Chains A and B, each alone.
Chain A
Amino acid sequence: MSIPSITQVSGTAVFVPGADIDTDRIIPARYLRCVTFDDLAEGLFRDVRTDPEGNSCNHPLDDPRFEGASIMLSGPNFGCGSSREHAPQAIRRAGFDAIIAESFAEIFFGNSTGLGMPCVCASAEEIQAIADAVEANPKLEVIIDLESMTASYGDVSIAVTMPKTAREALLSARWDPIQELLDNGGAIEARAEALPYV
């Protein structure tokens, strides 16, 4: 199984502000009543995009200026709560290729990396500055470069961070680890043999 290495993500961006945006908000639980991930994009942030009467809440994701955005910007502890991979799957299937936030909840971060969707961190001020630039020019291209660990837009370039292992996994086309895990079958069996309870 061959997967591409991910060195750079570029595209237009949309700012979804807020702290502690949880995975229930990203994809409400009723959308988890499914046996495939195929139709999740529709549920993305559904309950903060449409009110119970079906009216639009003018969420940034429904702002026509940001249509086609492939980079999401957000606040601290993004993706906290439930481990549901449905959350990053919904984001991915709605056309996003990367997220820049102040920080990420751990399970969400791992799930996203496993889908080849880089999650990089920047400060609140830096993210606000990108959001302001995008607000002024929604067609502005934002480039996340994992080699140099920067995010650039216009003539600005900022440093972004990501754990070393995840970066390495993305750059070296190992973000889906299944093949490497399988290749170590002998070592797995030896470990199982050595464990007193297996």
Chain B
Amino acid sequence: MFAFRRRCAMTRPSKAKIMGKNLYQKVWDEHAVGTLADGRTQLFIGTHLIHEVTSPQAFGMLRDLDLKVKYPSRTFATVDHIVPTDNQQRPFADPLADAMITELRKNVDEFGITYFDLASGMQGIVHVVGPEQGITQPGTTIACGDSHTATHGAFGAIAFGIGTTQVRDVLATQTIAMEEMKVRRINVNGKLGPGVYAKDVALHIIRLLGANGGIGYAYEYGGSTFDGFTMEERMTVCNMSIEGGARCGYVNPDATTFEFLRNRPYSPKNGEWDEAEERWLSYASDADAEYDDVVNIDAAEIEPTVTWGISPDQGVAISESIPDPAEAKNAVERASILEALEYMKLPAGAPIKGTHVDVAFIGSCTNGRLSDFREVARYLKGRKVADGVKALAVPGSQITAVICKKEGLDQIFIDAGFEWREAGCSMCLAMNPDKLQGDQLCASSSNRNFKGRQGSATGRTVLMSPLMVAAAAIEGKIADAREVFSVN
């Protein structure tokens, strides 16, 4: 069915033919204010999320231009990137970090913006907080000065990262100038094997389509695997759309979406709920919707996947070996393998399994949610982190941390030898004190394995699912979690 569409779907349906629309087109059309002189669309942003790193300059620009925030109630702030995850006593040990949080407080107060601050009990990584509060809703447009904003697409929203000048634009006008994207439907069908997670699906897709494969596209994820996914699993995959080059990724809203949103603080209330559900469902892609491209993936082919290089598309299944530049398809690929292996200090052609690990990190907007800690805790009980491995568990939000504590999950991590920290972005990008030292190798549940990403210019990152991180922490080396924990 999709193969047929793929051949005929390179252009949008003409007006004479009445064809269905996909979610992206429906939401885009509903939010288009008009066409600008340069041909771009002026797009209304329903929900704007801000944090301390990419917003201060935007507020500075507003002041320079003597502008106000047009719809203060449509912007929500939290603090995540720079917060220490151990000692959060103010002032922070890092005066620059403290200045940023002070600046955010000043800005939200001056412009009347809701702020989930450290004292609120609702602070956390912005992409965990939005869904948790029910702010993230289907059929909306969501922008944030953060590339992982695609996470919110899991709810059937068009959500994408923007730069700081665009943060200014949203604050001042609730709109941005934007070009419409193409839409690629990615079907994953079938049942994932035991010990294979949404993270593996994300890493597999990126490996398959490349780190730049999604440029110009929004990714619509579907198929029976996604139908069966929880919201947290959908968020994990949507989160990493940008690692595949797609600024935006989404899943059509369904009963799973609605169940997650029910009774959240910002969700529609009882009297409005039925109408909201009906409306949300109407945004889902029509059965005869057209796509600019379609990709089909069999879930059974996906293994626990880990990266070996310095780009998220440099991944292998845990049973595979590190690529050998001698087997590269061309000179460009050879050069990129060589550059990656030199940086990663990994031997060409050797199995990835068994690679020595110094640090283990479970957290981030990709995999720092309740279900991630619950799943790892199931297997971690009674196990110990290997000598010499520093293991960090960082909940994605204060609410996640509270529930983990209530369920005793924090103690399971602590007993196993993990440091259980306060909520924040932490070692995903190491803007706070959580950093790799020297060329330490980190088994990480985060989203980027770029050179220097985790705070040391020579630090090395291997991306994987949270359970694979736990397996690596216990073994002191990259391991197959299915074997370490007898997952079957």
**Proximity string of chain B (332-347) to chain A, C-beta cutoff 8 Å, 1 when within and 0 when not:** 1001100100000000
Contact A33 B163 (CB under 8 A): no
Interface size class of B (residues with CB under 8 A): 35 or more
- Closest chain A CB from B435 CB (angstroms): 9
User: Taking the complex as formed, is A106 at the interface, i.e. its CB lies under 8 A from any CB of chain B?
Assistant: yes
Chain B positions 72-106 with a Cβ under 8 Å from a chain A Cβ:
74, 81-82, 94, 96-97, 99-100, 103
Interface contacts beyond A24-B448, A25-B450: sample of 18 additional A-B pairs, CB < 8 Å, sorted by A:
A22-B311, A28-B457, A32-B53, A33-B94, A34-B100, A37-B57, A47-B451, A51-B457, A80-B245, A81-B450, A83-B161, A103-B215, A107-B160, A124-B332, A165-B179, A177-B40, A180-B177, A184-B42
Contact B429 A188 (CB under 8 A): no
Contact of A33 among B40, B97, B145 (CB under 8 A): B97
Contact A83 B451 (CB under 8 A): no
Chain B positions 25-79 with a Cβ under 8 Å from a chain A Cβ:
30-34, 36-40, 42, 44, 46, 53-54, 56-57, 60, 65, 67, 70-71, 74
Chain A positions 148-191 with a Cβ under 8 Å from a chain B Cβ:
163-166, 168-169, 172, 174, 176-178, 180-182, 184-185, 187-188, 191
Contact B211 A195 (CB under 8 A): no
B: residues with CB less than 8 A from A are 30-34, 36-40, 42, 44, 46, 53-54, 56-57, 60, 65, 67, 70-71, 74, 81-82, 94, 96-97, 99-100, 103, 137, 139-140, 145-147, 149, 160-166, 168-169, 172-179, 211-212, 215-216, 242-243, 245, 247, 279, 311, 332, 335-336, 339, 429-431, 438, 448, 450-453, 455-458
- Closest chain B CB from A104 CB (angstroms): 8
Name the residue on A nearest B448 (C-beta): A81
B residues less than 8 Å from A180 (CB atoms) = 36-37, 42, 177
A: residues with CB less than 8 A from B are 1, 18-20, 22, 24-25, 28-30, 32-37, 47-48, 51-52, 76-77, 80-86, 88, 103-107, 110-111, 114-115, 124, 163-166, 168-169, 172, 174, 176-178, 180-182, 184-185, 187-188, 191-192, 195-198
Residue of B140, B173, B332 with most chain A CB atoms under a 10 A cut-off: B173
Contact B452 A47 (CB under 8 A): yes
A residues less than 8 Å from B165 (CB atoms) = 85, 111, 114-115, 176
- List 24 A–B pairs whose Cβ atoms lie within 8 Å, in order of A's numbering: A19-B336, A20-B336, A24-B450, A29-B429, A29-B455, A33-B94, A33-B96, A36-B57, A52-B438, A80-B211, A80-B245, A103-B212, A107-B147, A107-B161, A168-B37, A172-B37, A176-B165, A180-B177, A184-B42, A188-B42, A188-B173, A191-B32, A192-B71, A192-B174
State whether A83 and B311 are in contact (beta carbons under 8 Å apart), knowing that A22-B450, A33-B82 are contacts in the complex: no
B residues less than 8 Å from A81 (CB atoms) = 147, 242-243, 448, 450
Contact B455 A182 (CB under 8 A): no
B residues less than 8 Å from A82 (CB atoms) = 146-147, 429, 448
